[in-house]
């Protein structure tokens, strides 16, 4: 929120069920001892005009006397779709729709929300690390890491930004991973295991750390998963990738960070259900019996990001 070129209030939607960004910004403005009347509000998504877990934001903007609202991207959900800007204009507020780089950045920032609003499915981001010769695993006895330390730090940040992390049962059986975001004060995502036959070991790190984050196991319709449910795991029954994503979407999950392994990644690709791919290419060769630093010590990974779909 801005008046005469000065920021007088800021806010964001921190968590489902809490204040929306507009109301958080108005609250911050008042805490600063500022009067929002006559100010300009800049928002990344059009203000809502319907009652949900929070009341409509357009009402708060009109009550506060905001004179101008600049909107970076539209809300594609059926219950919104332009209603907010129309109500604001009817209330005498000047409404401007951003264009160019700002509009593109806002639309990309809101991709998980936009896809879920349009399809009911979470946005799927594939992450993989590979060597220069296309290998995704290291030789036996070697370090399990293909990517470098800086790349792994970035992955933990991406995990914290996602609703869920997903892997296949092969990865769990091979690595017994935690699948947590290990960054300061990280928001922990739900951990999802695609495990058709319910083979997840009851003594796995995933089930031993349920207090850190829930574990959701996706099994086939004919599988008995009573033991996993009794161990504390949530169970989703799905006969396909598409059905699994629909189940996750109904649970309110808007983003899925797909980490492995290659079998699960291939299944998602075959189903056409990868929206974004982030591939680390490490400067090493793994085709022989040992790792070879192809570009010499200190060479860093290359990150290749491909966006297959935009919502």
Rounded to 5 degrees, what are φ and ψ at 62? Answer: -70, -45
Cα–Cα distance for residue pair 215/217, rounded to 1 Å:
7
Q: Count how many Cα atoms sit within 13 Å of the Cα of residue 85 in the half-sphere of its side chain.
A: 18
Contact status, residue 231 vs residue 202, Cβ threshold 8 Å: yes
Contact status, residue 262 vs residue 171, Cβ threshold 8 Å: no
Rounded to 5 degrees, what are φ and ψ at 237? Answer: -100, 120
Cα–Cα distance for residue pair 138/146, rounded to 1 Å:
7
How far does Cα 33 stand from its chain's mean position?
35
Could you tell me whether strands 40-43 and 94-97 are parallel, antiparallel, or unpaired per DSSP bridges?
unpaired
Cα–Cα distance for residue pair 197/194, rounded to 1 Å:
9
Is 22 catalytic? The answer is yes
Cα–Cα distance for residue pair 103/83, rounded to 1 Å:
19
Query: Of the listed 10, 18, 22, 242, which one is catalytic?
Result: 22
Query: CB burial class (10 A; 0-12, 13-18, 19+) of residue 7?
Result: middle
Could you tell me whether strands 68-71 and 94-97 are parallel, antiparallel, or unpaired per DSSP bridges?
parallel
39's tokens: 């100010």
Contact status, residue 275 vs residue 115, Cβ threshold 8 Å: yes
- Active-site positions read 22
């Amino acid at each position: 929120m801005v008046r005469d070129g000065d920021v007088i209030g800021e806010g964001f939607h921190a968590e489902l069920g809490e204040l929306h960004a507009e109301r958080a910004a108005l609250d911050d403005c008042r805490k600063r001892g500022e009067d929002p009347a006559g100010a300009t509000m800049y928002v990344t998504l059009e203000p809502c005009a319907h009652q949900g877990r929070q009341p409509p934001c357009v009402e708060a903007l009109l009550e506060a006397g905001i004179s101008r609202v600049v909107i970076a991207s539209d809300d594609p959900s059926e219950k919104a779709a332009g209603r907010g800007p129309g109500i604001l204009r009817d209330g005498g507020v000047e409404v401007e729709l951003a264009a160019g780089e700002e509009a593109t950045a806002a639309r990309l920032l809101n991709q998980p929300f936009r896809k879920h609003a349009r399809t009911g499915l979470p946005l799927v981001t594939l992450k993989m690390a590979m060597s220069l010769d296309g290998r995704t695993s290291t030789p036996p006895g070697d370090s399990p890491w293909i990517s470098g330390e800086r790349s792994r730090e970035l992955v933990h940040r991406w995990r914290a930004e996602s609703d869920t992390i997903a892997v296949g049962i092969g990865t769990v059986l091979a690595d017994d991973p935690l699948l947590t975001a290990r960054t300061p004060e990280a928001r922990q995502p739900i951990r999802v295991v695609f495990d058709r036959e319910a083979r997840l070991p009851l003594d796995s790190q995933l089930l031993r750390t349920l207090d850190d984050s829930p574990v959701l196991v996706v099994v086939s319709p004919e599988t008995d998963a009573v033991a996993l449910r009794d161990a504390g795991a949530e169970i989703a029954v799905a006969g396909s990738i598409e059905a699994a994503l629909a189940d996750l979407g109904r649970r309110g999950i808007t983003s899925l960070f797909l980490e492995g392994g290659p079998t699960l990644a291939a299944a998602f690709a075959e189903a056409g259900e990868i929206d974004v791919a982030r591939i680390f290419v490490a400067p090493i060769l793994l085709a022989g019996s040992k790792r070879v630093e192809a570009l010499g010590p200190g060479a860093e990974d290359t990150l290749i990001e491909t966006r297959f779909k935009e919502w």
